[in-house]
Chains A and B, each alone.
Chain A
Amino acid sequence: MQPPKGKLIPIGGKEARGPEDEKADVLQPVDFSEHGILKEILAEMRGCESRLLVIPAASSIPDEMGDMYLDAFGHLSCPHVEVLNVRDRRQADSKKSLQLLAEADGVFFSGGDQNRLTRCFADTEFLTLLRQRYERENFVVAGTSAGAMAMAKHMITEGDSAEPVLKGLVGTAGGLGLFPEAIIDTHFMNRGRLARLTEALLLHPRCVALGLSEDTGVVVSQGDHLRAIGSGVVLVVEADEIGQTNYKRAKKGDPVFIENLRMHILAREACYSVRERRFVAEAAAVPAG
């Protein structure tokens, strides 16, 4: 199978939406108009000329959310941003929606509720076209918070944050399946979600788990190569070498222990290969063939 030609950009939420959002109290402050997350998204397409479709389908306040991103991309002098406000599968497959998708260089899924997002696009022509464009063209699929979590095949649907690993704490359901090798969690360092990411990984141990901090994301090329962007860090957790654990025999609600989770921390410009399970050189390798 050919690796996808497009790029995925999952983001941990609360990405800077204007110069006023630049954070000073982070390990590596990022200039909004140079290396801010939204700028990085545009850079993966055609810069300020990019035609980007903002899709606030996960949000309970889609109109406000859409306006906010129009403003945010306006700060970056990107005039070709449109909001596609669809609330259900019928609207997702409307002629207008499909037309806008066909003309765009990329889409941006807002935050909100990831279940609402997947309900809206499950088994739609829209999703089929999105996947085709991602696989065959230099097309960008970006998403923040719920919009990032939904990119996975095994999407985290529930689970309390600051709690120990307890069996049965976390549920996963079918996501949009654009990034089947990863489990994605967001708002990561800010909300202490290590336990929930870890349990989701134990449910699907062949995946790698990505914990995206706020104002932090990864650009995924060829469905494999991650490059960190933004002001925070990305935690990568691998389950391939797990030693002792009671996870399989634990009953629901039992505390779980786990030996030998392997973790990496990526900061801006660090690159990691999901297939090789290690840090790699900065430029993505040219795909064979």
Chain B
Amino acid sequence: MLVKGTLVAIGGNEDKGTGRRPLHEKDTPQKFVSSGILFRVASEMKHPDAPIEIITTASSIPEKVGRDYQRAFRRLGRRHVNVMHLETPAEAADPDVLARVAEAGCVLFSGGDQLKLVLALRDTPLAELIHERYLHEPVVIAGTSAGAMAMSDLMMYPGSPRADGLAPELDLQPGLALVHDAIIDTHFLVRGRFRRLAIAVSEQPQHLGIGLEEDTGVVIRRGNQLETIGSGLVTIIDGRSLQEANPTVAKSVHEIFIENLLVHVLAHGNNFTLRGRKIS
């Protein structure tokens, strides 16, 4: 089945047109009003006048985050930008909320805590509505930082520190499953997250790792065609060849040996197919 909706997953800290210099300004600069990430989110909408719904559930400072996005999209000429902060699954079943999302041309999940977002939404009528609309209608579903990490079927979540003082384990939790067979990580280069995504992929090698740098994102069309946008770099980690077992490694007792990751590095404008796992 062909997916009709468009997904935009963003690595966090995208330019919001406030005049603050974006992280990768020197690299592949994008103009906020004509090629930046939020411009791309808005321009993927089929009907420019359709409302944009910002879901700030992940955030601990939802009022500020909501206002920032309203301002940013207004700078891009979008008037109908609404904010909803849903704390519980009950609130995500509210008929008014459902009616608003049913009318929206774009839904954007803000950053914050991805588990908070998923626990409030998972298996709710709202999640189901977003999923159905994404499959069957030309709606835009965007997410930044935690909001992007929550989009894949497996979501990374840092576990609690262990009693023995070792580094917290990284859990993989079920996410909102808008992207299949993928694990999305964000703030990827600035926070040096290659290792953690590589470990997650080596644990789940049928899943493709998608590492999104800040102010960088991917537009995914038809559930398969990925286009890189923004000022930074997207790192794709393909663990399929991990399964070609090397007997030397198989015998080893160590946990963190990872042999044969295929890595692709994508910049603004590059296209990649998720199913073919190739630059297209």
Contact = CB atoms under 8 A, between A and B. Distances in A.
Interface stretch (B104-112, B120-128, B148-156, B262-270): B262-270
A162 to B, nearest CB: 5
B254 A257 contact: no
A157 B28 CA distance: 23
Nearest to B261: A263
Contacts of B266: 257
Interface string A227-270: 00000010101000001100000000001111111111111111
A198 B265 contact: yes
B61 interface: no
A46 interface: no
A266 B260 CA distance: 11
Contacts of B278: 243, 259
A195 B189 contact: yes
Given A264-B259, A265-B198, A278-B259, A163 B24 contact: yes
A166 B27 contact: yes
A20 B191 CA distance: 25
A211 B249 CA distance: 20
Interface string B235-275: 10000000000101100101111111111111111100000
B267 A278 contact: no
Residue from the set A28, A255, A267, A279 with the largest chain B CB neighbour count within 10 Å: A255
Given A166-B27, A189-B194, A26 B167 contact: yes
B254 A269 contact: yes
Interface in B157-199: 165-167, 189-192, 194-195, 198-199
B219 to A, nearest CB: 16
Contacts of A280: 248
B232 interface: yes
A102 B257 CA distance: 38
Given A257-B265, A279-B259, A164 B28 contact: yes
8 contacts: A163-B27, A164-B27, A255-B268, A259-B279, A262-B261, A265-B198, A268-B254, A281-B248
Interface of A: 24-29, 162-166, 189-192, 194-195, 198, 233, 235, 237, 243-244, 255-270, 278-281
- List 4 A-B pairs, minimum CB-CB distance, nearest first: A255-B267, A164-B233, A267-B256, A265-B258
